[in-house]
Structure 1
Amino acid sequence: MTNCMENAVIRKVLILVALTIILPGSALAQQEHSSMLLKESSMVIRDSIASFDFEAGGEEVEGLMHGPAVTYTYHDAYYPLMARGEFEIMFGSTDFKRDGGSSDSDDIIINARGLLGYDILYHDNLVLTPYTGLAMRYWSNNVSGARDQSQSYYYIPLGVETQSSLMPTVDFGTRLEADYVFNGTATTDFEGDGGRSGKADNDLDFGYGLRASVYISKQFEAVGLGLEPFVRYWNVEGSDGDWVRRNDGTFENFSTQRGETLIWGASLTVHF
């Protein structure tokens, strides 16, 4: 990934960090409000649209992706604990670029996450929740007339979120998270691409991710509506090797190279 893209990630994260620090403090400076920040059981349904950019070893995949997600959160009534389950699917038509050429491709991303956190309440108007858990990410990229590839890996999220009440029916929140990738697999089906045939299965042993978002929601009588801009970044190291057959009958020890992914966009949310 170019330095420009890395700088873009840093700028977006710094802006969201500043919002994390400044805006909840501004809310506390107002008159305290009774709110539903620690509602025992809640569900959020979201529809997201995002810019997607993946780069690895001279290859690039970029385009727009969109899709739904559902989040269920439980806050214990007696102990300050939070439990959450998340499922998200995004898909889109992208451009696959290599060696100065471009091909159409189709992408799917699936995220499944289970989180546990500890709720810390300040002045009845600000909730700080550090959390961790276990999560899985799957990405598939199918290139028209060329190879198909997919990556799936497990990771441990370490994050913190804030929730504050700006007024009785308006809530504001932020999320900052770092992710540790500890196990994964990259699968490449060559279909003759690059003079190779067959399929390679490569182990992914290490990587990390960063994600940040801010949201604001308005509560109506039955449901709440909100907006949540977000940015996500992944950096996954290259893999070990796997032997694949070349079209001339010889074998090659194929490995994937370090890949970086930048996703940024916004979600429309419905709160129950």
Structure 2
Amino acid sequence: MKKSVCGALLVIVLLAGTPVAAWAGPGGGFVSLVLADFDYEEPDVMEESGGLYGVRGEGQLPVDRARLRFDGELLVGGTDYEGQTWGGAPVETETGDRVINLGMRVVGRQEPVAPVIGIGYRYWEQDLRGPGGYRRAHQYVYLPIGMEIGRQDTSRFWPPQARLELRHLLGGHVESDLSDVDRRFEDAENDLDGGFGLKAELVSTFEGAGRPWQLGVFVRYWEIDESDPEVVDLGGQLTEVYEPENETRVVGLRFGIGL
């Protein structure tokens, strides 16, 4: 995982060229409110779905042959959980969720179609409540490769700019605090080696009341392979645990104001 991440960072540095000069023109930075519908599924095991809300920041910086775009997002909320215990008994409960997305993209200067490459990080923390519940944290490091179609032009609301990405999972892991269930249980950490994500977003940037504004509609999807197994001590019994293959779908919108 470390070699893959270092290689991706090296590509970004080579593409970026000269040091940053200044914020990139109108609409260089935005702070947005975000509303999202979240759905996570482990086929034949469990499903978690519900609404999340939060805030997102985005900024752009020009370099010699491209633009650097930085973004950070925090989503929180509660979702409904439908699954089963390790023994197979059905469980319906609520969870507390927190999702953090961080990224840096190198965007080409070509228009109306510009290539995009970068590095991204995703953190999702679940608090599975109720009897037998425990905390679980998912962490992904990924390589986004894609394109931007259209211009970010504040003089017109339509047509919007399209942002498309394929996200290659470089590595990650899932930490499960099984000691929340029983103090005698050992916590587990399962490595993730395979998976990918997709993102599609339509973004309109426009002027209003002397300020730039931005409206975005997005779809995000993750498909993650079964994790590597780990043997943990569950109260004196050595047990092999793993994370099943899973899918995540997030559909949402954001509305922001320029800085």
Short-chain TM bin: 0.7 to 0.9
CA distance in 1, matches of 2:75, 2:113: 29
Q: Matches of residues 247-266 of structure 1 in structure 2 within 5 Å?
A: 247=235, 249-266=236-253
CA distance in 2, matches of 1:117, 1:185: 29
Q: Which residue of 1 aligns with 2:42?
A: 56
Alpha-carbon contact 1:234-1:262 (below 8 Å) kept:
yes
- Name structure 2 gaps, 5 residues minimum: 1-23, 85-89
User: Post-superposition shift, 1:94?
Assistant: 0.9
Aligned AA for 2:96? D
Alignment partner for residue 203 of structure 1, among 162, 176, 191?
A: 191
**Local SS of the residue matching 1:170:** coil
Q: Which residue of 1 aligns with 2:97?
A: 107
CA distance in 1, matches of 2:116, 2:258: 21
Q: Which residue of 2 aligns with 1:31?
A: none
User: Does 2:81 match 1:93?
Assistant: no
What's the TM-score, normalizing by structure 2?
A: 0.80
Q: Deviations over 1:145-191 (max 9, x none)?
A: 31211110110000111233778353621111100001111111124
Alpha-carbon contact 1:51-1:264 (below 8 Å) kept:
yes
Aligned AA for 1:218? F
Aligned AA for 1:158? I
CA distance in 1, matches of 2:195, 2:66: 29
**Local SS of the residue matching 1:120:** coil
Task: Tell me: CA distance 1:41–1:98, structure 2 relative to 1, closer, same or farther (3 Å).
Answer: closer
What's the TM-score, normalizing by structure 1?
A: 0.77
More helix by share: 1
Aligned AA for 1:111? N
Alpha-carbon contact 1:41-1:74 (below 8 Å) kept:
no
User: How many pairs align?
Assistant: 227
Q: Deviations over 1:249-268 (max 9, x none)?
A: 21101111111100001111
Q: Matches of residues 63-212 of structure 1 in structure 2 within 5 Å?
A: 63-76=50-63, 79-99=64-84, 100-121=90-111, 127-145=112-130, 146-164=133-151, 168-170=155-157, 172-191=160-179, 193=181, 197-212=185-200
User: Post-superposition shift, 1:193?
Assistant: 4.5
CA distance in 2, matches of 1:177, 1:142: 29
Alpha-carbon contact 1:41-1:75 (below 8 Å) kept:
no
Root mean square deviation, CA, Å:
2.3
Alpha-carbon contact 1:169-1:220 (below 8 Å) kept:
no
